[in-house]
Chain A
């Protein structure tokens, strides 16, 4: 925020930026409200950061991270010599893009629809029901999916058979799973994301809406020309946040839905599940940290790139 202390000419008057101390004092309430978040990220994200050094060592418990022998990039080797990296990157990135793009579109849509609903009771109920799947653990979700789709006794299988149809063996159809996984993820996350957008909509200046109404704008026009443009910064910021994690897969979701059913791996194997399969019996902190570090570093550069791109389009919306 405080970019520099140099003088800024503002019309005829010379305006001098106030010193940092005064800015801090003036905004002390706001800063205080930020404090929990700042402390949280400092403690859980910045303080452990030097520990990433573990990825370059052959970690020995009795020597600690700093005294363990340094072995350079040895730990990164396994991911690159696997011959699977291409497939893993493709799957991880495509799934995440689908989650981010489709997720945001749905969340926006539902937030706007909810906002148009007049009945308060209906609004609240819908919101709660949509939020609910977010709290269901992946283990239960996988059981639900299994009980719907399994060939021998599944709900859908029985339905299809009773209607005289032929049920395919879904758990042996790799091509079906991108749709199933994306659908499950959207079912789980839409309610949560909708609340974020809904909050942004409710904080909009209502006088704009009233003015538009008086000017004779209909519902669609109001959404198209007022709601959506107002939400643009929120969309961009959420997108930039999300894209940093584009190489990080949702292990719980994928592992529980697919498990060790390797018939499906071609379309469902992501970096996390691959790492789990390779290392589940050889417990190695250094190697798993190496994979995590790789994902984070790539994610970091993607955020930088995306931010630069956004800045070029419209510098107001960039993160930094």
Chain B
């Protein structure tokens, strides 16, 4: 009896397989007869605009093409790191696609903890053929851990998230900086001019309450005064390679040398001059509104923010001519964005990884879906002008009339539109400069294993997060002594052990 059943089963399988075999060359044999829901995990606040409406339209197409509905699970910005990691840790088939990133969303630690499904070449070829073809082999190599692909990179989207300072061009000219601010010294001149001449305006009304200024400001000074290159993937921003010529030797910038002391001294002189509030470390003012209202003369963030904010500022403060001084400008020390600054992963517990990949392939490569997702409904929410730019209708308010899907994990310049609102002349000028000087991120191939140094890294993080905010905002009596104390504490927390381990891992991958 058993044999008979086996024989029948085998026969049935053969019969079923026949038509598949004959058509295999035209279309992949993917069974989409069962309707499934694909849940996509993304960081961002639940939108209050027309997203639902647009999503329904996207789902119509997805239903038709791959018999799947896309659902979105938002990780709101309140407490997002905790909630994002919790969602990954407690997944039980409730999420399929996960937006992630190697620099700001812990993609590699989460890979090591088993949050993501390894993607075989066969899976990608079958279910995400367009993506598979468009991503070159050397890019797939950067998405591998232990030889297996875990991430799909956002590698066809030009953007710059290098940090710097936004300043008002009109005020810079008044201050005698005809060409704008292009160095930390210029920035000091600009701040002093504001302090002396603009009553009721803070040179930089910084919200030092957040922790992000520590790596940005300290790393910014470092970029402008050394040739060091930051290595991503650590919980604390203390590990840099020497230079683009010698990227695989660790820099000892934070442990010895005068540059960090100079930084502390300069920041102390700025604090004493009153460029920011006395109680800056406990202040939480919203940086964009303060600048729009005209009570703060600078904002510290990255290039991408500047491209949009320049337009907003022109509206709020006509003639403000918002400029951007990027860290590393003095020394041409700039590293282009890692292609995994945005990446899509498939959840380890996903019940339909095949369909999830099919949906992703469409989101990324289908012109109709892509534009719905990025800009909304054509003719209603935007139009394309004769130059191919995207134009929003009169009175368009992005908070109520736009679409927000935060798809930062596979944007595609082949299908994207340029916003007619933005000042592309100024932006392209800066981008051209970047393209000229930027080095490719040299550490894409390595995924660090922190297991044996985690304890030290935790204590080092504490030291960094204790000392750095005060250095950054110049809140100490004696900068030299304070930096020395910081360095001693790093030593006590075991930084040498950690550096040795990191150097070994770098050597193992790059020095053969």
Q: Pick the residue among A82, A151, A277 that contacts B278 (CB under 8 A).
A: A151
Q: Pick the residue among A59, A78, A152, A281 that contacts B236 (CB under 8 A).
A: A281
For A63, the chain B residues whose CB sits under 8 A away are: 114
Give B117's nearest chain A residue, CB to CB.
Answer: A62
Q: Pick the residue among B458, B461, B467 that contacts A262 (CB under 8 A).
A: B467
The answer on a CB contact under 8 Å between B282 and A171 is yes
The answer on a CB contact under 8 Å between A263 and B282 is no
**B498 nearest CB across to chain A (Å):** 12
Segment of B8-16, B83-91, B393-401, B405-413 in the binding face: B83-91
Q: Report the bound CA distance from A84 to B460 in whole Å.
A: 12
Q: Pick the residue among B210, B211, B278, B454 that contacts A282 (CB under 8 A).
A: B454
A70 at the interface (CB under 8 A from B): no
Segment of A6-14, A192-200, A283-291, A308-316 in the binding face: A283-291
Q: Which of A72-129 contact B (CB under 8 A)?
A: 74, 77-78, 81-84
Interface bracket on B: 35 or more
The answer on a CB contact under 8 Å between B461 and A277 is yes
Given A62-B114, A78-B455, are A150 and B277 neighbors across the interface (CB < 8 Å)? yes
A259 at the interface (CB under 8 A from B): yes
Q: Pick the residue among A260, A277, A278, A285 that contacts B281 (CB under 8 A).
A: A260
Given A62-B115, A81-B459, A84-B462, are A169 and B467 neighbors across the interface (CB < 8 Å)? no
Chain A: interface residue total (CB-CB under 8 A): 40
B348 at the interface (CB under 8 A from A): yes
For A279, the chain B residues whose CB sits under 8 A away are: 235, 458, 461
For A77, the chain B residues whose CB sits under 8 A away are: 455
**A138 nearest CB across to chain B (Å):** 13
A-contact bits for B32-44, CB 8 A (1 contact / 0 none)? 0000000000000
The answer on a CB contact under 8 Å between B282 and A259 is yes
For A294, the chain B residues whose CB sits under 8 A away are: none
The answer on a CB contact under 8 Å between B492 and A277 is no
A-contact bits for B81-125, CB 8 A (1 contact / 0 none)? 110010011010000000000000010011001110000000000
What would 16 A/B residue contacts be, using CB atoms closer than 8 Å?
A: A58-B451, A60-B113, A63-B114, A83-B492, A146-B282, A150-B277, A150-B279, A152-B277, A260-B208, A277-B465, A278-B461, A278-B462, A278-B465, A280-B235, A281-B81, A283-B82
Chain B positions within 8 Å of A, measured between CB atoms, are: 81-82, 85, 88-89, 91, 106, 109-110, 113-115, 208-211, 235-236, 277-279, 281-284, 348-349, 450-451, 454-455, 457-459, 461-462, 465-467, 469-470, 475, 492
Chain A positions within 8 Å of B, measured between CB atoms, are: 58-63, 74, 77-78, 81-84, 142-143, 146, 150-152, 169, 171-172, 258-263, 265, 274, 277-285, 287
